[in-house]
Amino acid sequence: MDVLTSSKRIAVVGATGYAGGELCKLVAAHGGMQLASAMSARSEGGARVARTPGEVNVDAYTPELFAELDGVFVCAPHGASAPVVLAALEAGAAVVDLSADFRLSDPSVYESTYGLPHPAPELLSEAVYGLTEHARDAVAATRLVANPGCYPTSILLPLLPLFEHGLVSRESLIVADSKSGLSGAGKGASDRTHFGNVHENFLAYGVGTHRHTPEIHQHAGTDSIRFVPHLLPVERGILSTIYVQSAGGVDAEAIRSCLSERYADEPFVHVRRTGLPELKDVQRTNRCDMAVCDADGTVVIVSVLDNLLKGAAGQALQNMNLMLGLPEAEGVPCV
């Protein structure tokens, strides 16, 4: 059988952005998929996205092609993404949306967070929040996945097992002190992301107002998490330092054991027994590495990932693999 004939036909919409470019590379090298179309999220095309080997042309947004596809990755900005998702679903394609349009279940929370009415509230009840390690069966059974944000992924992966096993109370104060590389701000230039303002600089931003906060609260099941994001003068990667008060005197070793057991069979989540993970350990991989320490009675969890892979394109590919009946790890970079 012709390999291309048996491969799943995939489009990436928003292929000129950072996450879209990563997905073009991953799909082009995937053994069970073919990159049938790379589209701009706008009507004009003509850009080129570097990949290995060669390059791929990016065409204008052409929803008429969706009827020929098995899956569509949507990498458009919030608000602009939902109409693309609707068109792809109507054409019968499986969709992984990398915007924020389907991460929040309450349209009023979406409107207060993003400043516009939700563009497709009728889809919110069926969208599955694709934190893959915690939603595998639901992802495999749905036609629409809301891919999690990069910061929330780095925070929810270590916290959810601790909540589920009662080692940390959802009512206790939790601080998530998170630092992201510059690519997390997207490809659009601004004064804040200008080289001269970032180089040899480090800052907190969006304290108490960051748009990922409602997403973290909803999917953690608590609003007791204080999320403080920072901008690092590096290209890619997120490091989240999470401070928790354990329940009933549970110590760091018990929390480490819980996380180790929960993720023992997960190829993309590694819990260290010794040492602390660093950005360089996970950059250009789909891994989330974490470690647990005791700091004078406060348990500290350090969680690191690549914001463009495990925080975006890599996790999206995990989800699309499941939706299309392919092995979850196929084509997903681990090391």
The CATH classification of domain 150-307, taken from the options 3.30.360.10, 2.60.120.260, 3.30.930.10, 3.50.50.60 = 3.30.360.10
Report the alpha-carbon distance of residue 230 to residue 12 in Å, rounded. Answer: 29
Sheet strands (E) in the chain: 8-13, 33-39, 47-50, 55-58, 71-74, 94-97, 128-129, 144-146, 174-180, 203-204, 225-231, 238-244, 269-271, 288-295, 298-305
Instruction: List pLDDT tens digits, range 257-289.
Output: 999 999 999 999 999 999 999 999 999 999 999
Please determine, for residue 2, whether its predicted confidence score (pLDDT) is greater than 80: no
Q: Which residues are catalytic?
A: 150
Please determine, for residue 210, whether its predicted confidence score (pLDDT) is greater than 80: yes
Q: Is the pTM of this model over 0.85?
A: yes
Task: Pinpoint the residues of the chain covered by CATH 3.40.50.720.
Answer: 3-126
Please determine, for residue 129, whether its predicted confidence score (pLDDT) is greater than 60: yes
CA distances from 319 to 21, 175, 306 (A): 17, 29, 17
Task: Pinpoint the residues of the chain covered by CATH 3.30.360.10.
Answer: 150-307
Pairing of strands 71-74, 94-97: parallel
Superfamily of domain 3-126: NAD(P)-binding Rossmann-like Domain (3.40.50.720)
**Percent of the chain predicted with pLDDT > 90:** 82
Please determine, for residue 291, whether its predicted confidence score (pLDDT) is greater than 80: yes
pLDDT of amino acid 3: 47
**Percent of the chain predicted with pLDDT > 70:** 90
DSSP class of residue 3 equals H
Q: Are 184 and 150 in contact (CB under 8 A)?
A: yes
Indicate the pLDDT class of residue 53, thresholds 50, 70 and 90.
very low
Q: Provide the b/e sequence for 128-161 (b: ≥16 CB within 10 Å).
A: bbbbbbbbbeebbebbbbbbbbbbbbbbbbbbbb
